[in-house]
Amino acid sequence: MDYCFIIRKAAIQDAPDIKDILQEAFSKYVQDTGISSLPEALCESPEEIKKAIQEQIVFIAIVNDYPVGTIRIKLCEDKTAYVSRFGVRPSFNNIGIGNALMSLVDKVAKENGIRSVTLHTASKYTSLVRFYYGRGYYIRSVSEEKGYLRALMQKDY
Q: Tens digit of pLDDT for each residue in 68-106?
A: 999 999 999 999 999 999 999 999 999 999 999 999 999
Domain count, the chain: 1
Q: Is residue 128 one of the residues assigned to a domain?
A: no
Q: What is the pLDDT of residue 1?
A: 60
Q: Are 42 and 26 in contact (CB under 8 A)?
A: yes
Q: What is the pLDDT of residue 119?
A: 98
Hey, what's the torsion of the CAs at 137, 140, 145, 148, to 10 degrees? 60
Q: What is the pLDDT of residue 4?
A: 85
Tell me how far apart the alpha carbons of residues 65 and 73 are, in angstroms, rounded to a whole number: 23
In 3D, which of 26, 23, 53, 27 has the Cα closest to residue 120? 26
Q: Is residue 155 one of the residues assigned to a domain?
A: no
What domain range includes position 15?
A: 5-115
pLDDT less than 50: residues of the chain: none
Q: Is residue 101 one of the residues assigned to a domain?
A: yes
Q: Strands 80-88 and 116-122: what pairing? A: parallel
CATH number for the domain spanning 51: value is 3.40.630.30
Residue 43 phi/psi, 5-degree rounding, is: -105, 0
Indicate the length of the chain as a whole number: 157
Q: What is the pLDDT of residue 146?
A: 86
Tell me how far apart the alpha carbons of residues 106 and 117 are, in angstroms, rounded to a whole number: 9
93 burial (CB, 10 Å; 0-12 / 13-18 / 19+) is middle
Q: Are 128 and 26 in contact (CB under 8 A)?
A: no
Q: What is the pLDDT of residue 138?
A: 98
